[in-house]
Amino acid sequence: MNAIVVYGATGHTGRFVVEELLRQDLPTIVSGRNAATLEQHWSDLEIRAAADDDPRGLDQALKDAAAVINCAGPFALTAEPLIEAAARARIPYVDVAAEIEANAATLARSSTTPVVPAMAFYGGLGDLLATAALGEETSAPAVHVAYGLSSWHPTPGTRVAGQVSHDRRSGRRVRFAEGGLRYHDDPPVQQDWTFPGPLGRRRVIAEFSMADIVTIPSHLAVPEVRTYMTLEAAGDLADASTPAPAAVDEHGRSDQTFVVDVRVGDLRASAAGQDIYAISAPLAVGAVRRILGGQTRSSGVASAGAMFDAAEFLSDLPLALDLP
How many C-beta atoms surround the C-beta of residue 206 within 10 A? 17
Beta bridge partners of 49: 32
Half-sphere exposure of 176 (CA within 13 A, CB side): 27
Residue 210's domain spans which residues?
123-276
Counted residue by residue, the chain has a size of: 324
Q: Are residues 215 and 84 in the same domain?
A: no
Q: CA-CA distance, 64 to 59, in Å (whole number)? A: 10
Q: Are residues 65 and 207 in the same domain?
A: no
Q: How many domains does the chain have?
A: 2
Q: Are residues 229 and 107 in the same domain?
A: no
User: What pLDDT is stored for residue 89 in this prediction?
Assistant: 98
User: What pLDDT is stored for residue 222 in this prediction?
Assistant: 97
Q: CA-CA distance, 54 to 76, in Å (whole number)? A: 16
Q: Are residues 64 and 138 in the same domain?
A: no
Identify which of 284, 275, 265 has the alpha carbon closest to the alpha carbon of residue 133.
Answer: 265
Is the backbone of residue 272 left (phi > 0), alpha (psi -120 to 50) or beta? beta
User: What pLDDT is stored for residue 42 in this prediction?
Assistant: 98
3-class SS at 301?
strand
Q: How far is CA 283 from the centre of its chain?
A: 8
Q: Are residues 183 and 247 in the same domain?
A: yes
User: What pLDDT is stored for residue 1 in this prediction?
Assistant: 86
User: What pLDDT is stored for residue 197 in this prediction?
Assistant: 82
Q: Are residues 129 and 268 in the same domain?
A: yes
Q: Are residues 142 and 269 in the same domain?
A: yes
- What is the tens place of the pLDDT at every residue in 242-296? 999 999 999 999 999 999 999 999 999 999 999 999 999 999 999 999 999 999 9
Q: What is the CATH number of the domain that holds 173?
A: 3.30.360.10
The full DSSP string for 132-157 is HHHTT--B-S-EEEEEEES-----HH
Q: Are residues 24 and 150 in the same domain?
A: no
Percent of the chain with pLDDT strictly greater than 70: 100
Q: Are residues 299 and 162 in the same domain?
A: no
Angle at 306 between CA 6 and CA 65, to 5 degrees: 25
- Digit-by-digit pLDDT tens for the chain (324 residues) are 899 999 999 999 999 999 999 999 999 999 999 999 999 999 999 999 999 999 999 999 999 999 999 999 999 999 999 999 999 999 999 999 999 999 999 999 999 999 999 999 999 999 999 999 999 999 999 999 999 999 999 999 999 999 989 999 999 999 999 999 999 999 999 999 999 988 999 999 999 999 999 999 999 999 999 999 999 999 999 999 999 999 999 999 999 999 999 999 999 999 999 999 999 999 999 999 999 999 999 999 999 999 999 999 999 999 999 999
Q: For residue 48, what is the enclosing H or E element? A: strand 46-49
Beta strands in 195-276 (DSSP E): 201-206, 225-230, 257-264, 267-274
The full DSSP string for 75-90 is HHHHHHHHHHHHHHHT
Q: What is the CATH number of the domain that holds 78?
A: 3.40.50.720
Q: CA-CA distance, 271 to 261, in Å (whole number)? A: 7
Q: Are residues 195 and 182 in the same domain?
A: yes
How many C-beta atoms surround the C-beta of residue 319 within 10 A? 20
Q: For residue 174, what is the enclosing H or E element? A: strand 173-177
Q: Are residues 102 and 186 in the same domain?
A: no
Q: Are residues 271 and 130 in the same domain?
A: yes
